[in-house]
Amino acid sequence: MSAKALSFIFGSIMAVAIVLSFAAARDFSKPNLEVMPDMYHGPAYHAFDENPNTENGRTLREPALGSIPRGMMPFEYALTEPDALRAGEELVNPVSPDDTGSLARGATAYAIFCQHCHGPGGAGDGMVAHRGFPPPPSLLIEHAIKMKDGQMFHVTTLGQGNMPGHAAQVSREDRWHIINYIRTLQAEALNKPAVAPPAATPAEETPSEGTQTEGVQP
C-alpha cells in the first residue's frame, strides 16, 4: 500500500473521530456509559434499614461478645475500696519511674489536671482549696506514700471521695506519667530536712518605774 493511500486512511479516521467527538456531546448531569456495571449497583443496605438476611431483621449488627474497640484497654474494676486494693495488687506501672521523659510529661499533666486542687507540691493547698472547696488529702502523707501505683491509678481513673474520675480528661498513659511525677514529689518531701524553728531572742530589759539605772539619778 502506497504512502498516499495510508495518509488518506489515517486522515479519514481522524476526521471521523473529530466528527463523532462533537456529535456525542457529554451531558454532565448524567453518568457516563458503564460497562459491566454489576459491581457498581449492589444491593447495599443502610445501617438502620430492615434486612431480611439477618436473624433479627436489622442491618446494624451488635459487636461480638467480648470485643473491644481498637486501642481501648479494658478496666475491669469498680468504684469500691476492695477493687481499689485489688488494682494495687494487679496493675503494674508500665513506665519506669526513672524515665526522664515520663517525669517531664507527668509534670506537665499534673500542672494541667491536678495542681489546682492538690497544689504545686502535692500538699493539698491548690487554688480550689483556697476558694472554699474542701481541700484534698495531702499526697505527702504516709498513706499516700505507701499507696501502690495500681491503686493510685484506680483513684485517678474512677475517683475517690470528692475527687471525680479523670479517665475522660487524662489519657491512660498520662495517668501513669502523673503517678511517676507524684512519686518524685513524695521523695522530695521525705528527703527534705525538717526546718527547726528560729531560736527565740531574749527581750531587752526595759527599766520600770522606780527602778534606778546605773549612772542615772532618780
| Any domain includes 55 | no
Task: Give yes or no for a contact between 164 and 79, defined as CB atoms under 8 angstroms apart.
Answer: no
The residues that bridge with 163 in the sheet, in sequence order, are: 160
| Any domain includes 1 | no
| Any domain includes 108 | yes
Amino acid identity of residue 99, one-letter, is D
| Any domain includes 8 | no
The per-residue pLDDT for 200 is 47
Q: Which domain holds residue 117?
A: 81-89+98-191
For residue 184, what is the domain's CATH number?
1.10.760.10
Q: How far is CA 12 from CA 5, 21, 49, 119, 159, in A?
A: 11, 14, 56, 89, 84
Amino acid identity of residue 76, one-letter, is E
| Any domain includes 46 | no
The residues that bridge with 184 in the sheet, in sequence order, are: none
The per-residue pLDDT for 20 is 74
Residue 167: exposed, middle, or buried by beta-carbon count in 10 A (0-12, 13-18, 19+)? middle
The per-residue pLDDT for 94 is 95
The per-residue pLDDT for 5 is 78
Write out the three cell numbers for 215: 549612772
End-to-end CA distance of the chain, in Å?
Answer: 153
pLDDT tens-digit readout, 144-178: 999 999 999 999 999 999 999 999 999 999 999 99
The per-residue pLDDT for 193 is 60
- Domain total of the chain: 1
Give the pLDDT means over successive 10-residue stretches in the chain (218 positions).
77 82 71 72 84 91 86 90 96 95 97 95 93 92 95 96 94 96 94 56 46 37
E strand or H helix at 163: strand 163-164
The residues that bridge with 194 in the sheet, in sequence order, are: none
Reference 156, options 120, 133, 182; nearest CA is: 182
Distance CA(89)–CA(135), nearest Å, equals 28
| Any domain includes 119 | yes
| Any domain includes 184 | yes
